[in-house]
Structure 1
């Protein structure tokens, strides 16, 4: 499988621990723990955002490796001169320089599939090749009214359908080309005087012909130009937040393409036509229900036309498809990524705020880790810190990475390392978190070493958890997840198709390979999804528990969770800011990992008997191994315990 390529570097560098006589490896590989292989390095976006120079590319790669960074994503970015266009011969020449140097140094690379984003339009080349492949959308207009002018695009509109609204008025709904673009690679105007940006026309990702054109233009070209690096230095291709409406510049448009209403109706199993007004009008009966159904159908169409073809292409060419979808809780699309991924951007998640546990973005890290686990992927990644602004501190950056790691992320993609900070480039989705940051020479290498050790643990050990939280392909709940985190009860998200082959075993445990769950948690609004849970499995209806608790009856959702599932570690008194995971490897080694996500220090006697490891240095720390030592966790501090080793 393509994801195995990511660990090939690790296998080659740790081969010395396995003799030709195939002696059994030690239960816990201390040598690897102290310095895991390049496969577990951070893999930052490297913004190529100015005139490029071969010697400078080589120099910067050397600087990355000096700080422990042994991987990167080549990300062509706004600021490139027009002489270095998307897919140009010059661009590929510089890519070959970077890949050759990475190969010489034993580093690895992900390619980025767009110039610049969202993915899928080949920086306007798809529509340039065939204007019929321009992005389309559904619009709604009053029947008999004057159509809204759309700059000549109505000539390409399909005949609409007339639908009667709840108030008796008729509306006409049809699809047509819409005004949507992607961000381009080149500034427009004077760079030193508030330049504009190129905005290439976006392609119709719901149209399989447009996606096939994108594959031919980008993926096939990558293979022709860089195929000798595939499967060795080039481990995968990163696709970035593909969106059926891309960057839309008009209002009142819903995702759509030619024939989409008939396709949606067939996929949903009922005629969606009478429900169409609910996409625009809040007063339509059960509007949210029909909008949710439409979102599910559009997501399924994106799986069919975009994600699945790209995934098949990458698998056929020996590399991994990775990246992330447009929304933080769209878990369904992750199934098609050989390395499932997500993205923390625009200060969505911040230390010391409710955002760490509440809202759709709070679900993203667990979404990617859950898909990795259930589909037996080897890795899962998260891009993070994009557009966090110049006020971002090193303390906040480290916390963001820790927030991801304690939720199971094992491949960190910092946003971003800037090739150039010249002129307007320094203010483009800042900050530079790498060579141009204040911490590059003041702690970065030590931080990279810590994240590398924790990525190795997350990648090579499996989580031990008993709770499954029910979601859907396009949406994940967070209330029960918050209670799990605060009570150090680990969990995975599941969606109905994950449950297709699940069975209930002795004691009512739900066996969903490779996991075994004592309870499935379902929140209000997920009744339809709960029908997929096999008979005999325990289902905890979160909102019912909370209502009963409010009436003075029952322990509430969190109390029921504590009754049905074990905490990784219990603290007395409780410490709701401490997160925990229990991990086990194939040799039977178990590790407990603790992270103080909060802003207050924690001092507790901890019932853990084992050996304490320092993820910052790789050293062993004093611990009495009798299970009653006092643990001191500073804010944002880590503790790792080797608690069991079975040969």
Structure 2
């Protein structure tokens, strides 16, 4: 074991790496001349890279784009910054800079169906074959009939969608003209499917993500022109390319009785056009061991063996997505010395579905050099982990189970189990929350992600326009952003914390099976989503990774009763309840059990399994009983999150109190022993502590976090203990500077009572910075002795000067500053500067979903000795 953690040494010396690559939007036109100033502002905030995005640029991959990129690359080289390139003219990735519009033959093909129900017996019945909608864009593939089960036996017609199939399909052959088919209908009710390969139901201007020829258009239209022009920058200034939300893009076209919504484009949904080509059918047939064509109707309607057909279809299209789109781009980038990153739409479980999703989160991303997710559009709100929350995204609401308990862990898990990612997990963050998203909120989101294992960030976004209505906030806002001081402090903190939390082995007690295959195969609502067991474990301080079946089948082993994957080790494997699971996976689970692994089925078992399930309420106890856990927390603190990492023999813990109102005053118990560093980096707090028995006292305010590094012998001081607090009652001279000129402070009032500057009767429309000047008297005997000034409550960030010396900045409670070395005998002049958000002035639609914090210094202000 090393005596000093090298990454802690880096942070204490200011040598931490960069983990930030904010979006830097390009609109073209006369904004070219602002590029050096904007990049200097970005660099000054602590971000040492950018992701350049056309939002949109009217000349993307044209003369105007090259003119701007030339200056961006030259400026970034001079500033020591790296550049990532957003890989299309606009999101989602797949437009290929208009290549599909120029070559419509590259558009996706879909499988669509029309059907009718007939009753037999009727010898010689004639059935009219529906004509293609457009002869040149729709081809009849075949006609097949399935016997119907009586819907009356399955449920109420008004509440149950029914329409179940049974038995084996019957192939029907139209006449030579393809207009009529004749069939001796057997007794009973039958559904006749007419299956078409069609352009209907697919995106009209985006590539076909399961066709290699179509996918290559993206490389040809975007990637290769950048390489041809900037080859000398590849691997040095240019770090790589970023894909944003590529997707199948298939749409609901009917017939259907119910549209369950944007996020529900899943296999089995009636009326959904399905991505398709001959290779899909070939792969399905190979997996099923028979010609899959007659069974295609089961992709929309349930039968006793539809789970087999649906699994074969989803395996085919999700693997083709990876092979046709993601793997070629990743290979192209690596061959040229750059990296490939990005994310898909994960929201509300669409990561395992189609439509705007990729069908399978892990298959869609595992060829990239980092994992990726995003948190935007009010998807995670502090304190609302128990509530379905209003948001501006599709459907108007977000599920806390998914966003709080599985999204961050999805991104981190993929990075943990994919060796070439080197543990790097990225999140696009802050976008489209609104101007009301202040520094305190941003700090909470960063800690929310760090403690779940995310360690690279794309702040969304820097825009050349102000005010730009496109998904604010926009950091800096051309010098008009009152939150930029706080934002910059958070960016510096993020680099420091991410540096400390990267480069080791994540310690977790359990692996949870990714639910994609279970949902594909099971009837609607019969597959438990992974976030259910995730919540049951996480609120009990049992950490986990989410692991797909592919990994369990190809890259996992059991040794000494523990599941080992890419250096990770888990004492138990949790299987969410499902009606069906793939047969190879069931066989693998049985082998794991025989090798001594605890395989726990949560709340139910699939067909073919005779185990006794574990109720969700007892799942955490079952994991602890099966394999133990690396840590415990005394008392009832479900929202105290703990992340455990081991690096070079050092046990490293991050703790974050997500509770909106309950301090976490408890004891963390671990197997780590001895001296440790206790770091609260945003509070300029780095001290030495010790634990002879693994018990560590924790005292965190709501929204407060800290990092513990065991075994480190860095020369850190012991914490100063203060025993006496005196409340100050000075007269405050209050000054304000409007956002249009944040340097032009004007007197507002003098007061002995602190107040909310945005309150009625004061300045409810004010957006800007606020200063408080006041003085205190210090006795000669106390001058230079340890002392701390606590500002109490503050609306957002606060910076303090004492006798002209900068004492630091805070972005959330506690707003406490070590001031002893700055205090002198007699009068001491203090200045507090803070700011509110631009929401009071701009009142954008995104901020309607936020509660805005009071403005200014609210106190009480106390001096601790």
Q: Normalised by the size of structure 2, how large is the TM-score?
A: 0.63
Q: How much does 1:164 deviate?
A: 2.0
Q: Who is 2:777 aligned against?
A: none
Asked whether the 8 Å contact 2:509–2:629 carries over to 1, the reply is no
Q: How much does 1:166 deviate?
A: 4.5
Q: Who is 1:16 aligned against?
A: none
Q: In 1, Cα distance between the equivalents of 2:278 and 2:59?
A: 35
Q: In 1, Cα distance between the equivalents of 2:495 and 2:668?
A: 26
With 55-64 and 320-329 compared, the bigger mean Cα shift is at 320-329
Which of 294, 298, 310 aligns to 2:317? It is 298
Which of 702, 706, 715 aligns to 1:635? It is 702
Matching of residue 238 in structure 1 with residue 242 in structure 2: yes
Q: Who is 2:491 aligned against?
A: 448
> Structure 1 residues 72 and 52, CA, compared in 2 at 3 Å: closer, same or farther?
farther
Q: In 1, Cα distance between the equivalents of 2:322 and 2:685?
A: 45
Q: In 2, Cα distance between the equivalents of 1:133 and 1:177?
A: 10
3-state SS of 2:473 partner: coil
Asked whether the 8 Å contact 1:518–1:564 carries over to 2, the reply is yes
Q: In 2, Cα distance between the equivalents of 1:459 and 1:558?
A: 27
3-state SS of 1:593 partner: strand
Query: CA offsets, 1:230-276, max 9 Å, x none?
Result: 11111111011111227x59564423233255234135334433442
Q: How much does 1:215 deviate?
A: 1.1
Matching of residue 592 in structure 1 with residue 653 in structure 2: yes
Which of 518, 522, 537 aligns to 1:484? It is 537
Map residues 513-528 of structure 1 onto 2, 5 A cutoff.
Answer: 513-525=566-578, 527-528=581-582
> Structure 1 residues 294 and 480, CA, compared in 2 at 3 Å: closer, same or farther?
same
Asked whether the 8 Å contact 1:357–1:482 carries over to 2, the reply is no
With 229-238 and 390-399 compared, the bigger mean Cα shift is at 390-399
3-state SS of 2:91 partner: coil
Asked whether the 8 Å contact 1:602–1:634 carries over to 2, the reply is yes
Asked whether the 8 Å contact 2:4–2:713 carries over to 1, the reply is no
Matching of residue 111 in structure 1 with residue 172 in structure 2: no
With 235-244 and 616-625 compared, the bigger mean Cα shift is at 616-625
Asked whether the 8 Å contact 1:278–1:285 carries over to 2, the reply is no
Q: How much does 1:465 deviate?
A: 2.2
Query: CA offsets, 1:336-394, max 9 Å, x none?
Result: 11112112233333222236861378423222222222222222211123333445444
Q: Who is 2:687 aligned against?
A: 621
3-state SS of 1:73 partner: strand
Asked whether the 8 Å contact 2:508–2:543 carries over to 1, the reply is yes
Q: Who is 1:532 aligned against?
A: 588
Q: In 2, Cα distance between the equivalents of 1:593 and 1:367?
A: 18
Query: CA offsets, 1:177-216, max 9 Å, x none?
Result: 23655xxxxxxxxxxxxxxxxxx82222211111112211
Query: CA offsets, 1:53-100, max 9 Å, x none?
Result: 33311100101111111111101013x4xxx42211220221121111
Q: In 2, Cα distance between the equivalents of 1:279 and 1:496?
A: 21
Which of 180, 183, 200 aligns to 1:178? It is 200
Q: In 2, Cα distance between the equivalents of 1:245 and 1:446?
A: 39
Bigger share in helix = 1
Which of 502, 521, 524 aligns to 2:556? It is 502
Q: How much does 1:540 deviate?
A: 1.3
Q: Who is 2:20 aligned against?
A: 42
Asked whether the 8 Å contact 1:69–1:448 carries over to 2, the reply is yes
Query: CA offsets, 1:592-622, max 9 Å, x none?
Result: 1111122122111344653311232564136
Q: In 2, Cα distance between the equivalents of 1:385 and 1:284?
A: 44
> Structure 1 residues 504 and 287, CA, compared in 2 at 3 Å: closer, same or farther?
closer
Matching of residue 51 in structure 1 with residue 94 in structure 2: no
Asked whether the 8 Å contact 2:209–2:321 carries over to 1, the reply is yes
Map residues 260-275 of structure 1 onto 2, 5 A cutoff.
Answer: 260-266=279-285, 268-270=287-289, 271-275=291-295
3-state SS of 2:196 partner: strand
Asked whether the 8 Å contact 1:267–1:297 carries over to 2, the reply is no
Query: CA offsets, 1:301-326, max 9 Å, x none?
Result: 10111111111111111111110123
Q: In 2, Cα distance between the equivalents of 1:49 and 1:38?
A: 32
Matching of residue 351 in structure 1 with residue 324 in structure 2: no
Q: In 2, Cα distance between the equivalents of 1:166 and 1:420?
A: 61
> Structure 1 residues 512 and 615, CA, compared in 2 at 3 Å: closer, same or farther?
same
Q: In 1, Cα distance between the equivalents of 2:537 and 2:617?
A: 15
Q: In 2, Cα distance between the equivalents of 1:145 and 1:428?
A: 51
3-state SS of 1:611 partner: strand
> Structure 1 residues 352 and 521, CA, compared in 2 at 3 Å: closer, same or farther?
same
Q: Which runs of 5+ in 2 are unaligned?
A: 117-126, 149-189, 255-270, 352-360, 386-397, 520-528, 606-610, 715-865
> Structure 1 residues 394 and 565, CA, compared in 2 at 3 Å: closer, same or farther?
farther
Q: Who is 2:300 aligned against?
A: 280
> Structure 1 residues 35 and 332, CA, compared in 2 at 3 Å: closer, same or farther?
farther
3-state SS of 1:429 partner: coil
- Work out the number of aligned pairs and report it: 589
3-state SS of 1:268 partner: helix
Matching of residue 385 in structure 1 with residue 426 in structure 2: no
3-state SS of 1:205 partner: coil
Q: Normalised by the size of structure 1, how large is the TM-score?
A: 0.83
Q: Who is 2:414 aligned against?
A: 371
User: RMSD in angstroms over aligned alpha carbons?
Assistant: 3.1
Q: Who is 1:421 aligned against?
A: 466
Matching of residue 466 in structure 1 with residue 500 in structure 2: no
Q: In 1, Cα distance between the equivalents of 2:641 and 2:138?
A: 53
With 336-345 and 316-325 compared, the bigger mean Cα shift is at 336-345
Query: CA offsets, 1:1-25, max 9 Å, x none?
Result: xxxxxxxxxxxxxxxxxxxxxxx89
Matching of residue 131 in structure 1 with residue 184 in structure 2: no
Asked whether the 8 Å contact 1:139–1:174 carries over to 2, the reply is yes
With 359-368 and 86-95 compared, the bigger mean Cα shift is at 359-368
> Structure 1 residues 472 and 228, CA, compared in 2 at 3 Å: closer, same or farther?
farther
3-state SS of 1:155 partner: coil
Q: In 2, Cα distance between the equivalents of 1:317 and 1:451?
A: 30
> Which structure has the bigger radius of gyration?
2
Q: How much does 1:223 deviate?
A: 0.5
Q: Who is 1:196 aligned against?
A: none
With 348-357 and 130-139 compared, the bigger mean Cα shift is at 348-357
Asked whether the 8 Å contact 2:7–2:16 carries over to 1, the reply is no
> Structure 1 residues 334 and 620, CA, compared in 2 at 3 Å: closer, same or farther?
same
Query: CA offsets, 1:562-610, max 9 Å, x none?
Result: 223444432221210011111121x312211111122122111344653
Q: How much does 1:48 deviate?
A: 1.4
Q: In 1, Cα distance between the equivalents of 2:625 and 2:498?
A: 31
3-state SS of 2:139 partner: coil
Q: Who is 1:88 aligned against?
A: 62
Q: In 2, Cα distance between the equivalents of 1:87 and 1:211?
A: 18
Asked whether the 8 Å contact 1:261–1:273 carries over to 2, the reply is no
Q: How much does 1:145 deviate?
A: 6.2
Which of 27, 41, 58 aligns to 1:63? It is 41
> Structure 1 residues 75 and 539, CA, compared in 2 at 3 Å: closer, same or farther?
same
Q: In 2, Cα distance between the equivalents of 1:643 and 1:325?
A: 37
3-state SS of 2:502 partner: helix
